[in-house]
Amino acid sequence: MNFMAQVVWIFPKFDTIYIFYIFLMGVAAFIYVKVMNYLQNKQTSVVNHWVEFQRYAIARKCNQVELNILHSFYDHLSEEEREIYLLPENRNKLKNALYRYFLKSNANTTEKEVNLFDKLFRSGVEFKKEILSLNDLTVGEVAALEADGREELTYVMQKTSDELLLSTKGLSKDLLVPGKEAKLYVFRPSSGGYLLDGKVIKTNESGVVFHFNGKIERKGESHLMLMDKMSITVSPWPPPEEKKDLELDKHKLLLSEENIDKQLEVLKRIAKDQKENNEKKFEIKETAKPFITLSERLSDRGILFTFPTGISSEIWKHQDLWEVSFSFDKGPTFNIRAKMMPTKQKSDIYLLRYVDADETMRKSLYEEIRKRGGVREVLT
């Protein structure tokens, strides 16, 4: 029996409902691709906003600690908030959001928060101003009220020639006592922190009146430099290892005819290059070595100097870290590791920027410079 002859082939019936199902699957796939592309582009856009904002913060002289604070704030935001606040046109919204974040967070010192506000949001014209009176403060300026050993964030709502109306939002009630002695901390990126001495004279639900008594003292980020030339010793760090004595193998010193022929070929090639004035092949590359020179300016953050005669200025390229040593007359000796680099303004002036001077050493150095008539630092 032919089995195949008895098989009846039945083709499936194609119902129009299948067309509808295929259409739905196509629409679903299209929507999925569009949504995934949108989410990916949105995430990329937000990341790009952060990268651009980070560049902005660096250009505004924010240091690594301040960048870390900003990144913590960034991590706390929702995706929608990140996309809104990091745009350049939304700096005021960012300022308000950052202020609210600082009021709720205890992770940072209040002075660091004030400094960060000034660096990010102060106009270019005001960036370099010093504070000599209340006229140099601005309405809306973020500050810190200091009393009873505490600092709490506030901002200037109104001002007169000797009084400020400060926001009470976020201030502790025990600081809002009429007659309480207090100080107001404000900051300018070019000159550092300032403490305005005064007292609280009036309070209400929305504001506290701070009376300024005219006394201003410097605090915090200010740096001084010494214009007098000082002898400094600069050495590669870590010091180069001493060369070990070479143990010569006497068998390698035997000269065969083959070795002599090879040496003659080398000597001929050297003679030919010298005859053709190709002297660069025989130049010895600059290596890092110790030298003594005079400082042009000495600061609690770095030193400007020129290379002495006989020392190539190219050696800074061949060494990552240097140790600089110097002593003050009837004062301490300092040994500090530093990075060496050329300055932008003058090709013959170089900078040693300290890398391991801790706060105790920096304060000690600052004090020695202050005693000797130091002026505000300029290291560029």
Res 375 pLDDT > 50:
yes
Tokens read off for 231:
């002898």
Say how far apart CA 74 and CA 83 lie, in whole Å. Answer: 10
Q: Do 125-220 and 224-239+287-378 fold alike per CATH?
A: yes
Query: For residue 371, which of 261, 228, 239, 247 has the smallest C-alpha distance?
Result: 228
Split at pLDDT 50, 70, 90, the class of 200 is very high
Predicted local distance difference test score (pLDDT) of residue 252: 40
Looking at domain 125-220, its CATH superfamily turns out to be predicted glycosyltransferase like domains (2.40.10.220)
In this predicted model, which residue has the larger pLDDT, 328 or 346? Answer: 328
Q: How many other CB atoms sit within 10 Å of the CB of residue 35?
A: 10
β partners of residue 353: 302, 339
Question: Which are the contacts of 171, defined by CB distance < 8 A and separation ≥ 6?
Answer: 145, 152, 154, 208
- Domain 224-239+287-378 architecture: Beta Barrel (2.40)
Q: How far apart are the first and last CA of the chain?
A: 104
Q: Specify whether the CB–CB gap between 186 and 178 falls below 8 A.
A: no
Q: How far apart are CA 173 and CA 150, in angstroms?
A: 13
Segment 74-87, tens digit of pLDDT: 888 888 888 788 77
Q: With 90 as the cut, is the pLDDT of residue 226 above it?
A: no
State pTM to two decimals: 0.51
Q: Where are the domains of the chain?
A: 49-108, 125-220, 224-239+287-378
Asked if 83 contacts 42 with a C-beta cutoff of 8 angstroms, the reply is yes
Instruction: Name the percent of the chain lying above pLDDT 70.
Output: 71
Whether residue 53 has pLDDT greater than 90? no
Distances (CA, A) of 202 to 154, 196, 207, 210: 16, 17, 8, 8
pLDDT of residue 379: 55
Output the pLDDT for position 164.
94
Q: Which one of 5-19, 76-90, 208-222, 304-318 scores highest in mean pLDDT?
A: 304-318
Residue holding tokens 């209340």? 134
How far apart, in whole angstroms, are the C-alpha atoms of residue 136 and residue 131?
Answer: 5
Give the model's confidence band at 111: pLDDT under 50 very low, under 70 low, under 90 confident, else very high: confident
Q: What is the pLDDT of residues 239-260, one digit of tens each?
A: 765 444 434 343 443 444 444 4
Q: With CA atoms as reference, report the closest residue to 302 among 239, 345, 365, 346.
A: 365
Angle between helices 16-59 and 64-76 (to 10 degrees): 150
Residue 43 pLDDT > 70, yes or no?
no
> 254-281: per-residue pLDDT in tens?
444 444 444 455 555 655 655 566 555 4
